Structure 1
Amino acid sequence: MRLFRSSELLGIARETLEFVLEASEETHPNEYMGFLRADDARKLGLDRSGQVITNVLVIPGTTSNPVSATVKTSMKPNDVSSVGSVHSHPNGVLRPSDADLSTFGQGKVHMIVGAPYGRDDWRAFDNQGERTTLDVVDVDLPEDQFFDFTQSDIDAELLADGRHSGVVAPEDREDDDDDRGGLFSWLR
């Protein structure tokens, strides 16, 4: 991983834009809200420095209705890959409201997606609410490996690292009702 990435935002991955449009349509008639994350362009196979929006982070506890979406900002991670926000306007208006402008302080770009959520039913804005260009880029998105594991994998890693002595392999348990070990055993 490179410590210093180019801050130039090259665009949004086509697949990510399609996800945003579909998620906004599925949330309709309520607003959709998320935070945009970017990856280094070279990691995506582009022969250019900069960043491409590849992911949308939806914060747990986000609530929405037909005229607003509210995010629990305390749940938003301090994330260096975050480059802005996206939300929908179910009424189809593709310009920021005064309330939107008050939330545009962080990030480089803020997208508004509007009904009927077709491929041209979105706009990008800068922190001041001025329309900006955001190219749609054809790249292969990196595979998200974060959830590519099982409980057995977690237990084995904990045992191998010696981080948790309470993990007991299923075959070593004295009775089936014993709930020692597992992902949440550290909560006890």
Structure 2
Amino acid sequence: MRLFRSSEILGIARETLEFALEASEATHPNEYMGLLRGEDARKFDLERRGQVITDVLVIPGTESDPQSATVKSNMIPNDRKAVGSVHSHPNGVLRPSDADLKTFHKGNVHIIIGAPYGWRDWKAFDSSGDPRSLDVLDVDLPEEQFFDFTQADIDAELRAEGRDPGNEEPER
């Protein structure tokens, strides 16, 4: 099983880029780091085949300081939707370091965000570290839901068990 997808990256959702810019600024003066996840462009009624970057996956246990960010590899999920990485350079330099280049082989697109973390303070790179274009797409992302069930689901389950969903007191 491959961790990173290989299909064409069409762009990044505006909302996803906003999140990455804000997270980078909030982490300053330390580096910020996350993995990029993509979804099939057909989910967004785009005319082209490929992937849209829709999420930044923050890896638990990531350690950072003003010069580097380190992800604990054992904490990276086996995510088939991963398409690359995003990280910040608090010094504002928008080019990959030698250390960055060693990690770029995993994934098709890597974003570096620099201080002061505005809309023009980022660049995308390919797996070789060469600059690449990356469109910012105005697509409607699905609402994030913390739970994958609703109150109606809970009520239906209670009824199936012969319990009254309107009864607020637990049975004794």
Distance 1:41 1:6, change over 3 A: farther
* Aligned partners of 1:44 and 1:142 also within 8 Å: no
Higher relative contact order (CA 8 A, sep 6+): 2
* 1:42-64, Cα deviation, whole Å (9 max, x unpaired): 10222322110010000011111
Equivalence map 1:27-176=2 (5 Å): 27-149=27-149, 171-172=170-171, 174=172
SS in 1 for 2:26: helix
Aligned counterparts of 1:153 and 1:70: Cα–Cα separation in 2? 41
Distance 1:8 1:31, change over 3 A: same
* 1:2-37, Cα deviation, whole Å (9 max, x unpaired): xxx981110001111111111100110000000000
Q: Which residue identity does 2:64 align to in structure 1?
A: S
Query: What is the CA distance between 1:79 and its match in structure 2?
Result: 1.0
In structure 2, stretches of 5+ residues that fail to align are 161-168
* Aligned partners of 1:6 and 1:49 also within 8 Å: no
CA RMSD of aligned residues (A): 2.7
In structure 1, stretches of 5+ residues that fail to align are 161-169, 175-188
Aligned counterparts of 1:6 and 1:97: Cα–Cα separation in 2? 23
Larger radius of gyration: 1
Taking structure 1 as the reference length, what is the TM-score of the superposition?
A: 0.77
